[in-house]
């Protein structure tokens, strides 16, 4: 058990438990992982018990089982949420949760009917998850597990060690004291968010190849980092890595076109060259070089999925960006560069708990990447002053 591999995994799991979910002694810890992530799920379980967890509950999902449902199951199965799974998600209230990402078979669903793939989501489960976000009812985090299939997709060869190195760099495992390094990093992002809030912005303007978009901000929009707090006040880092400052846009105000700058892994497919057109805050057209159907099906899931729920700024200092890699995994790619999400607003991105009046509510939240050196981002104040925010991936406001 004392091999190098296990030590790295143990260190990684400890950061996820201490910095990520920040598990409190006596909490029940809910781990949700794909079966291929079992080595990480097991390491997380041990780390959580060492942190004093009362009970660690691991739920393994299997994409092959999901594939069989989409391919062979009846229509009614597609958006069915088993009641016992809904109860599991409900019972996370007051607990800690860790979800793993990193797709070992990124093209597993590629040959299936895109419409059925897009409709295949446990709606009721998503609703409960979004409610937890809304209620800040648990401390949770997301963390990735490398695999041959994922490495193959990224590098064209199954070089798991190279992927491990990239993940270790992005999650600051290469630092002598990763916990301290994370604390320092999050403090810096927090200064950046505070500086943005001091500007009193009313809108963001994006300009770049295939992109000319203006997104309104609310008076109660507040830029923040992924260092969240539960309703009870416990801090946690909602995903590792994280490099963003983000905020809730005015869901009613988005005009123009935005073109994605990185592929998006969505519900088992890879969406490439995504281009969304907005009018009056709504997505009115979806184009893509690949995977448009999945996006179209997803934004039809509920009435508000066509509205925006998040705008996030990431500069060239991002460790994820510095790797120069496309991870085909939102956890990483969204932290490489600026992104936008359609669907539900994250409560941390605005003041007050009320939704509506421009704060979007949906069972969907999908981030897609729009940043890069060719993207210029400006802030616009209520009195029309234009403040450069990003130029050639360099952060412009004082930090």
In whole angstroms, the minimum distance from the beta carbon of 124 to a copy of itself comes to 13
**Largest pairwise CA distance in the chain:** 63
CB-CB contact of 323 with 289 (8 Å): no
Q: Which is nearer to a copy of itself, 41 or 227 (CB)?
A: 41
In whole angstroms, the minimum distance from the beta carbon of 50 to a copy of itself comes to 6
Q: Within 10 A of 54 (CB to CB), how many other CB atoms are there?
A: 13
d(CA 67, CA 76): 15
In whole angstroms, the minimum distance from the beta carbon of 91 to a copy of itself comes to 6
Q: Which is nearer to a copy of itself, 69 or 270 (CB)?
A: 69
In whole angstroms, the minimum distance from the beta carbon of 293 to a copy of itself comes to 23
List interacting residues with a copy of itself (CB under 8 A): 35, 38, 41-42, 45-46, 49-50, 53-58, 60, 62, 64-65, 68-69, 71-74, 76-77, 80, 82-85, 87-88, 90-91
3-state secondary structure 376-391: EEEEEECCCCEEEEEE
In whole angstroms, the minimum distance from the beta carbon of 25 to a copy of itself comes to 10
Task: List, as one string, the DSSP characters of 306-369.
Answer: TSEEEEEE--TT-HHHHTT---SSHHHHTTTS-EEEEEPPPGGGBSSS--BTTB---S-EEEEE
In whole angstroms, the minimum distance from the beta carbon of 329 to a copy of itself comes to 22
Q: Which is nearer to a copy of itself, 65 or 394 (CB)?
A: 65
CB-CB contact of 312 with 331 (8 Å): no
In whole angstroms, the minimum distance from the beta carbon of 37 to a copy of itself comes to 10
d(CA 134, CA 137): 8
d(CA 16, CA 154): 23
Q: Which is nearer to a copy of itself, 83 or 280 (CB)?
A: 83
**How far, CA to CA in Å, does 333 sit from each of 105, 242, 323?**
18, 10, 11
Q: Which is nearer to a copy of itself, 62 or 135 (CB)?
A: 62
Tokens at residue 94, please?
């007051």
Q: Which is nearer to a copy of itself, 41 or 163 (CB)?
A: 41
| Strand 96-101 relative to strand 139-144, pairing | parallel
Q: Which is nearer to a copy of itself, 58 or 270 (CB)?
A: 58
Q: Which is nearer to a copy of itself, 16 or 276 (CB)?
A: 16
Q: What angle do CA 268, 296, 154 make, to 5 degrees?
A: 30
In whole angstroms, the minimum distance from the beta carbon of 146 to a copy of itself comes to 18
In whole angstroms, the minimum distance from the beta carbon of 189 to a copy of itself comes to 33
CB-CB contact of 304 with 342 (8 Å): no
Q: Which is nearer to a copy of itself, 74 or 209 (CB)?
A: 74
Own/partner pairs, 189-192, CB within 8 angstroms, 24+ separation:
189/225, 189/227, 189/242, 189/243, 189/244, 189/245, 190/224, 190/225, 190/227, 191/399, 192/223, 192/245, 192/395, 192/397, 192/399
- Which of 223, 101, 241 has the alpha carbon at shortest distance from 169? 241
């Amino acid at each position: 058990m004392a091999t190098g591999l296990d030590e790295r995994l143990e260190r990684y799991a400890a950061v996820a438990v201490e910095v990520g979910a920040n598990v409190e002694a006596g909490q029940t810890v809910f781990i949700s992982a794909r079966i291929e992530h079992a080595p990480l799920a097991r390491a997380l379980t041990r780390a959580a018990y060492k942190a004093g967890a009362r009970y660690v509950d691991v739920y393994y999902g299997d994409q092959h089982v999901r594939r069989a449902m989409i391919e062979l199951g009846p229509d009614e199965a597609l958006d069915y949420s088993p009641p016992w799974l809904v109860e599991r998600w409900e019972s996370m209230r007051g607990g800690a949760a860790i979800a793993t990402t990193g797709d070992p078979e990124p093209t597993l669903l590629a040959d299936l009917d895109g419409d059925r793939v897009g409709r295949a989501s446990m709606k009721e489960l998503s609703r409960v998850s979004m409610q937890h976000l809304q209620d800040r009812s648990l401390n949770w985090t997301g963390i990735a597990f490398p695999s041959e299939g994922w490495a193959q997709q990224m590098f064209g060869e199954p070089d798991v060690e190279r992927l491990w190195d990239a993940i270790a760099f992005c999650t600051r495992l290469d630092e002598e004291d990763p916990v301290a390094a994370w604390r320092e990093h999050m403090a810096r992002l927090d200064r950046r968010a505070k500086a943005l809030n001091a500007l009193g912005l009313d809108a963001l303007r994006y300009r770049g190849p295939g992109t000319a978009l203006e997104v309104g901000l609310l008076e109660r929009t507040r830029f923040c980092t992924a260092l969240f707090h539960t309703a009870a006040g416990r801090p946690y880092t909602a995903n590792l890595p994280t490099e963003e400052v983000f905020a809730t846009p005015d869901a009613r105000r988005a005009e123009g076109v935005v073109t994605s700058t990185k592929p998006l892994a969505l519900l088992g497919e890879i969406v490439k060259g995504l281009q969304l057109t907005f009018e009056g805050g709504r997505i009115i057209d979806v184009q893509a070089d690949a995977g448009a159907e999945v996006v179209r099906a997803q934004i039809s899931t509920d009435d508000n999925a066509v509205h925006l729920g998040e705008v996030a700024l990431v500069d060239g200092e991002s460790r994820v960006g510095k790797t120069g890699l496309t991870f085909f995994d939102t956890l990483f790619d969204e932290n490489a560069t600026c992104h936008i999400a359609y669907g539900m607003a994250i409560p941390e991105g605005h003041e007050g708990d009320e939704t509506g009046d421009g704060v979007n509510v949906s069972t969907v939240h999908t981030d897609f990447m729009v940043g890069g050196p060719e993207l210029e981002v400006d802030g616009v104040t209520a009195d029309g002053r234009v403040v450069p925010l990003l130029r050639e991936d360099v952060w412009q406001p004082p930090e």
